[in-house]
Amino acid sequence: MSGGWYLIGIAAEMAGMHPQTLRVYERRGLVRPSRSAGNTRRYSPEDVALLCRIQELSEQGLNLAGIERVLELERRAEAAERRVRELEAECAAKDARAREEIDRVRRAGRAELVRVVQTPADLVPMYRPIVTRKGTR
């Protein structure tokens, strides 16, 4: 839909319903058009799309309570999908930072990552005093 605002008659025609039906939907809280300075209802393209969705659900046999429930579930699903996308982006960013850190450490040299074992004492530091004493345990 193109941008702009639609008066109630135009919005109703676009959605395939009577203007009075839009007033009922507004009273029920299904749609919330903005108001002009003169208190005239102004429907956005998003409002008209919502009205079309309501009309579609109505044609499928849902009553207003059912339509309200479906719309609420759709809103929740959209919010959950947005949250999943946010979490995926956060994970991707953390993954990228971890990969950068791994690359940085690798560039710093493997000698810092892997210590070369030279004596048995190097294997288990807690036994160092025992191994270094001559003939004693």
pLDDT in tens, 60-119: 999 999 999 999 999 999 999 999 999 999 999 999 999 999 888 887 766 555 555 555
Is pLDDT above 90 for 126? no
Residue 3 lies in a domain: no
Is 20 part of any domain? yes
29 within domain boundaries? yes
Q: Is residue 18 part of a domain?
A: yes
Crossing angle of helices 19-28/45-59, nearest 10°? 90
For residues 71 and 102, give the distance between their C-alpha atoms in angstroms, rounded to a whole number.
Answer: 46
Number of domains in the chain: 1
Tokens of 57: 């659900």
Domain containing residue 84:
8-108
Distance CA 90, CA 115 (A): 34
Output the domain CATH number for residue 30: 1.10.1660.10
Q: Is 42 within the bounds of a domain? A: yes
Structural contact between residues 32 and 26, judged by C-beta atoms closer than 8 angstroms: yes
Copy the structure tokens of residue 25.
């939907």
Nearest to 120 by CA among 129, 112, 111: 129
Q: Is residue 47 part of a domain?
A: yes
Q: Is residue 57 part of a domain?
A: yes
